Amino acid sequence: MYEIVKNAHSYWAYLVLLILIIAVVNALMKVFGNKEYTAKDFRISLFTLIVSHIQLLIGLILYFVSPRFNLWSELGGEVMKNSLARLYLVEHPLVNIIAVALITIGYSKHKKKLTSQAKLKPIAVFYTIALLLFLSRIPWSAWLNL
């Protein structure tokens, strides 16, 4: 089961990054181009929200079925001294949960606005920060070797 969940989490991450990059570029281009908010923008931001939440759920399942989870009982506080264990058990999950929360906040804030620019700015800001957080905590060495 672990391998299936791990592969699902890894491959779904490509979709999340692709959709998130599309959402960020779209929002930034429209903000700086002073363009109107359209139904397409709504769909892109909503789809980004959905795929990122699915990724979070897959990641939470993976966290608890992973053999690495046993390092908590084996190493205890020493997890923080081991950079690889710290990445997988603390940094990656925590930063990515924060990133998904930022996507959720950006989406929620944009729904309450009435004008195009006011709708696009929260998406541009919160989704961009989320993208940077995602990119900062991807275990690149393992991820690119799929």
Distance CA 43, CA 48 (A): 8
For the chain, the distance separating the N- and C-terminal CA atoms, rounded to the nearest angstrom, is: 17
Query: What value does the mean pLDDT take over residues 99-114?
Result: 93
pTM score, two decimals? 0.89
What pLDDT was estimated at residue 145? Answer: 67
Contact status, residue 126 vs residue 109, Cβ threshold 8 Å: yes
* pLDDT score of 8 more than 60: yes
| Residues 118/135, Cβ–Cβ less than 8 Å | no
Q: Is-contact 133 23, C-beta < 8 A?
A: no
13-53 pLDDT tens trace:
999 999 999 999 999 999 999 999 999 999 999 999 999 99
Q: Is the pLDDT of residue 134 over 60?
A: yes
Sequence-distant (≥ 6) Cβ neighbours of residue 41 within 8 angstroms? 26, 27, 30, 119, 120, 123
